[in-house]
Every structure is written in C-alpha cells, then in structure tokens.
Chain A
Amino acid sequence: MINKMKEAAHCLQNTSVKEWKRDGGKVVGYSCTFIPEEIIHAAGLLPFRLRGIGTTSMSIGDSYYGAVNCSVPKCILQLAGQGSYKFLDGAIITNGCDSMRRLEETWRKASEDYPGTLPDYYEYFPVPHKSVDYSIEFYEEELNSMIESLQNHFNVKISKSSLKKSIKLYNEGRKCLQRFDELRSRQDVPITGEDAKAVLIAAHAIPQEHFIDMLKEIIEKMEKAPSVSNGKKRILLMGSASDDIDFIHVIEEAGAIVVADTVCYGSRTYSTLIDEKSDPVHALSSHYLTQSICPRMLGYYKTRLAYVMDVIRKTKVDGVILQNVRFCDLHGSENGIFERDLDAAGIPCMRLEREYGPLSETGRISMRINAFMERIS
C-alpha cells in the first residue's frame, strides 16, 4: 500500500489519476491549502494539488518568472509549460503568497507560447489574509462564486447535500490522518518519515475515497508494526512547501527520523474537523480561513507558536528543522522568530534555507543536518 502512496508522491499522473481519467473523470488542479477540496469533490471532480516535482529544467519557469521568485511555482510552471499538466481539466490558482499568486498570470501567458498547456477551466481565486467576521463573509462569497463557476463550466450541480457528503468524507480522511499522526509519533515509530511523507502527499493526489481505504490499511499495519526508530533522533519538520520525499530521505540518512511536521504538503490541513451540521459553505469558509497555520495569515504568529509547542509536547521530538525554500520570506522570517522562541524553550532547532525541486544541493543539506544531529546527540 505504501508503494502506491509512494507512486503518487513520486509522479504527477499516478495510477489512480490515470484510472480516474480512463473512466471519464475530470481533474481540477489547485495551488494551495486554502482551496477547499470538498467543493471540487462535490462537483464530481478529482481535486489534485499542484506540485513541481520531477522538474529537470527551469527553461520555461525562468522565462516568465523573475530571478528572485521562489522555485515552487516556477517548477509548477515548468511542468505546465512542458505539457506535464495536460491531464488537468481545470486549475485554480490562489494568492497563497506573492510568488504563487503570479502563477496565474505566468501560466496563462506561457500558454500563448506553449499552446494547449492551459486547462480549459482556469481561475484565479482570492483568499483574504485575516480571520475576522468580514473576511470570512468575503471568503464565503468567493466560495459561492467558485461553486457557480464550476457548475457552469463542468455542467454539474453542487448541492448542499453533496457538499455535506464531501465534508463528511474529507472529515473521515482527516480523522484517519490524525490517527496516522498519533501512530507515526509514538515512542516506537512504526513508519519512516519518508514513507509518512508519501502518505501525506497522496492525500491530495488520489481520489479521497480510495485514499481513505488505503490509509486505513496502512494504519492497521502500523498498529502492529515494529519500530523503525531504533534510537534515532526524533525530528519535527517545519516551514515552507516540501513535497519531495527525497528531502526527508536525506534528513533520515543522517540518523534522524521525522515523526511530525507542520509543512505545506504535510500535516497542515487536518488537525481540526469541519462542522458538519451548519451550512456547508459557511462551515468551509469558517474552517479554511481560521484553522490554517500558514504564515500567509500575517499577525497570527502566537497562534502558530502555540500549535507548534503542542505538537512538540505530544510528539516528544529531540529537535526541530526549520526549513524554507529560498525567497520564501513568509516562512523564512517566521523561522527566525520560531528559532528564538524554541531556543528559549530549550528545544534544539536549526534553520535551513534550500531550493525546491531536484535535490541539487544534497551535499550541503546533508552536511548541515549531520552537524545538527551531532549537536543534539
């Protein structure tokens, strides 16, 4: 089962996506955790989190983006421009951060030079940057517009009851992932961080029903699985987008085991459940705009620190790796404050700036992590 998850983590068009497409299903890519998958799912579409994995060149990404932009959207653009996302029937880009929001224009403009690479359904979706009553209202209205737009384009009906069903389904997925987190962080760790990462990535790359079934099997095995930690240092991975399981492999090669994370493409999306009783669109807007620990929600550092301290307390980690992709100032600077506060709390941590994409700097990263391991030994 883990191999299926790994397949989903290693490539874009995994077997499940191919099967979905073969059966006439449509796939909608989305760029950020602030887009409720439940809505796409309720439309009978497959929500697929956009990634830049497997990029081997930046010829297209660099042609449209500037030199000081983060390589995550650049890699996505690269893949889009070279046709790797042609299996998408739609894409929704949000203003997750300044570099990511510009993917909307760069992809659209690149498609003029690389015809056929822009999905038929292509939308920009704005998300407010604060969690107050009027921003939640605003976001709710935007979600209603998204629903209308999906209905019109794909000629489908997104009813309240279908939305409620999707919320229920995704809540089940969240509960399974919460259990998965409990198991992966117990004293005798039953799964490597590398494998765990594959599971978390697969959660947004294959049909949710299928994912839940597979995850339940994995959880069942994990309940009885032998420890793979063997005295390894327990690590919490924090920071910006990380969907490269090879990166986790490098960390674990240094004698660590990643038992928890708070990264984008990681454990960020399921710590709380969505209210299943109230109006579904309102429930989605309240949840997505208030529960995120992404630093794009500026001004909520203390909430995020409290969340991180809770994770540290529960998972009993030996150290924290605060990583950020270069030019990700949101995570990079917040990591600076986290470092101060975690140090003050006696929790060893290291900051690591890195590039996204092919691990071109494995040697440097490996050396830094080895040094950190020595420090916490």
Chain B
Amino acid sequence: MKRETREYNLDWMLWSSVVSGSKVKDGTEKEYRALLRLIPNFSGIIDGILRQGEPGRLFMKMGAEYLDDIKTVHDKGKKLCFGTFVASKTLFYAFDNVVPAWAEIMTVFATMLMRKGTAEYMDYCCEAGFTETSCSAQRGSVGAYLAGLAQKPDFLICGAPGICDTNANAMQFMSEYLDIPLFQLTFPSKLTGRRITDYHRRDYKALIEFVEEHAGSRLDEDRLRSVLEEHKRQDEIINEIYELARLKPCPMPPMFNLFLYAGKLQSSGRKAFTALLESMLQVMRENAAAGRAGTTSGKERARLLMCYIDHYTTDARFWQWVDSQEISLLPTLIFTFFNKGINYAAGREDQTYEIDTSTMDTMIDSLADINSHMPMVKQLRGPYDATGMWRDDLFFMSRIMKPDMTVYIGSMGCRNSYGVNKLIQRDAERFGLPTLLLFADAFDDRVASWEFCEDKISEFMHVRGILS
C-alpha cells in the first residue's frame, strides 16, 4: 500500500467526501459548476446524484449521516459492528450504542468516489494473507480495516455461509487477523416451512444475545418497535415505487435504483431513508402522470434488468451511461427484499416477510424473517431452479417489469452465482429474455474496464435488435 494511502483513514475520507459532496449544491448553480471542476475524479457521481433534485440531496444527506456515525463511533462511546450486507441493519439501529458498518457499502462508496477505486485496499488483503480470488465487494473495504485505516470494529457479523462462502470468509479472516469476536448467521437451503422458520428464529435469537453481550446493552423493546414501524412504513412506499416501475415508460430515474437498495441496506428503519423514499415516490408519480420516463431525456428506448448486481466502479459511470442511452434501469434483481405486498411476490406470499410489532417475541420473529429474505440470502440459498430461488425470482420479475434484456455482472469471487450463471442464461433465453453474461468485476476495473462492459452491452443490444 502506498504511503500516501496510509495518510488518511478510509472511513474519514469517505465521510469527508460525502459530507462535502452533500453541500456543494448549497450555493448558486455557477458556484456548483465551479466546484465540480475541483473534484474531477468524482464529479460524475456527485453530479449524477444531485441532478436528481430533492431525492439526490436526501440520498447524500443519508450517506453523510451514516458515515458520520461510523467516523465518530468511538468518540461517542459507541460500539462498531462490522459485517456484510446480507445481514439486515434494522436490529442494530434498535440499540442506541451500536453503529453498524457493512463492508460492501463502504466498498461501493470508495469504489465510486476514489480515482483508482479500491485497488490498494483489495491488494492489501492479499498482502495480509487473504486470497486474491476472493470477492472485491468485501476486499475493497476490508483491506483498509486490516491495515488499521478505519475505526476498529468491536464485533463482526457475517450472514453468508452457504449463501456466499467468500463473503462469510472475509469476516472470518478479519476476525482472526484482528482478533475481533464474530457471529455468523446461517441459513438452511430451503426458504419456507416450520423447520426453516424455527431455525431462523433460534439463530437470530443467538445473534441478539451476541450483540447484547458485546455491546454491553440490552435490546430495547420500545426502540425496536419504533425502528420496525419505520421499516414497515418504508416497505409500503417501496411497494408503490415498484408498482410505478412497471409502467412503460418506466418513471424511475436509473439512479433511483441505487438509492432504493443502498438506502434499504444502509438505513432501513431510519427516518432519513423514509424521507428519501417519499421524495423518490413524488418524482416518480410526477413522471408517471406526465407519461415521462425517468431518464434525463424523459424517453425510454429499452428496459434493462440487471439480474444480479450493478456495476459500481469509479464515478458511477454505469448509471450515467444507462441514462445517456435512454435506458430504463429496472429494480436490480438480487436487491429484492420480499416484504409483504410487493408486486414481484404476488401469488407466492409465503416467500415474503411480515412485520408484527405486537410483542417482543413477534418483533424478533419479524427481524429473523426480514433477515432470511435479504439479498442473496433468499435467492442463493438453494438450487438455482428450486422454488423461490434465483431463476424463479428472475422470471417473476421479468413477467411484471417486462425488461428487453438482462445482464449479469458479479465479481471474481462469486463462486455461487458463477456456478450457475450459464444455466440461468440458458433458461432465461428459453424464457424469451435476451441475457448477457459479462465477465467483469463490478467493483474492480482491473479485471475488465467499464468501457469494456459498456462496449459489450452496446454490442449485445445491437446484435439482438434491442436498441438500434
């Protein structure tokens, strides 16, 4: 790792960038344009977000709040819980002295905002002994933690053994390398049924005991109820957003896709996310009423469904490109959460979660249920073509969102998805959905540049006659 990279902590740098970025629109438009010239390496992402108007401003504010909590965690006498995105944050916000930081969210922030992405942190993981073939989504931030360039976590949560071993492995490595206590949530290969629910519940109760032990505080019933009620309200708004996203043209701006799942992963149960969702919904309602697509031009030339994750490298060029091509970006498949009433779960309500705030027990059950439906946890736990798994979700989503094509991109560490993505492609094509597999890394441009990905998607669309 370069000496200059060691000058600043990763969490401080991200906080500084996002907090500053959230303020650049405070002045006049002329001042704003001048400021963008001073941040050439990430002006695209800042402008791309802030151009969305109120939702963009609220998204930046939400990010700033999140990063501020992380940066100041120990100054405020709180405990830092570090984990992976497959564990729901809702529980942790119900503790007043716990701040959750998730590896992938930190990686995405860093990947988008830093000129060379997270390459040095990724490589530091390898220097420390972690495999170079591991997932860049974790390595991108974990490297900074291993190097001591961030607030040291007080305890770790992993929720991915058997869902994504590489992901879970990152937490085990970190636990041993830094000598930090680790709890792992585990999941049976099936999703529904009494035995499964019982397993989820018992595992989740064990997690709560672990958090209480390491946070030195008890889970507060009133606070938990308040967070879950907020979560419930957010789910209701999300249901409406998803319903609007079905329209042709799709009234959802491409960047909203990121706002939606980043907010869900980062700030579920927090008021900042509710405000963001309300604002997004307002924009979408206006677009829908005007018969306008969510793209900057207001036109829709094609509808794209990313069947795994999006592409995150420097400056968020993926979203900018999609927007510039007048492509509607439909809600990314893996970031579906299966809350009650969501349109893609119609007819398979047994695969959804429901929030019940009546008692402490029902709330804990709800938390376990929410967690068992997290991205990847839901779709990747069993055979890809079993009921409720990846293929099922792709077909259900396609039927209601009517994409013109789907694109797979993952990371070089995605053993689980790479293990069957060719099968998914074959089945999806037979289903009638043009499917492109990109051999690239969503978090690491060194594997294949964004320009390569852009070129491949463009070529595919032209060859298949999706976009002339």
Contact = CB atoms under 8 A, between A and B. Distances in A.
Contacts of B198: 134
B129 A337 contact: yes
B418 A337 contact: no
Interface centre among A298, A324, A337 (most CB of B within 10 A): A298
Contacts of A326: 133
Interface stretch (A67-75, A79-87, A269-277): A67-75
A115 interface: no
Interface stretch (B165-173, B215-223, B363-371, B396-404): B165-173
A333 B134 contact: yes
Interface in B182-228: 182-184, 186, 188-190, 195, 198-199, 202-203, 206
Interface centre among B176, B188, B198, B206 (most CB of A within 10 A): B176
A138 B158 contact: no
B390 to A, nearest CB: 10
B414 interface: yes
Interface stretch (A3-11, A93-101, A173-181, A308-316): A93-101
A129 B170 CA distance: 15
Q: Which size bracket describes the interface of A in this complex?
A: 35 or more
A102 B419 contact: yes
A102 B422 CA distance: 12
B383 A296 contact: no
Interface centre among A296, A299, A327 (most CB of B within 10 A): A299
A101 B422 CA distance: 15
B415 A68 contact: yes
B423 A106 contact: yes
A330 B176 contact: no
Interface in A282-302: 295-296, 298-299, 301-302
A339 interface: yes
B371 to A, nearest CB: 15
A336 interface: yes
Interface string A168-193: 00000000000000000000000000
Contacts of A109: 423, 426
Contact of A104 (B130, B176, B383): B383
A105 interface: yes
B16 interface: no
Given A129-B186, A298-B161, A333-B134, A102 B169 contact: no
A215 to B, nearest CB: 34
B129 A128 contact: no
A329 B133 contact: yes
A124 B195 contact: no
List of 4 A-B pairs having minimum Cβ-Cβ separation, nearest first = A336-B129, A102-B419, A66-B418, A129-B161
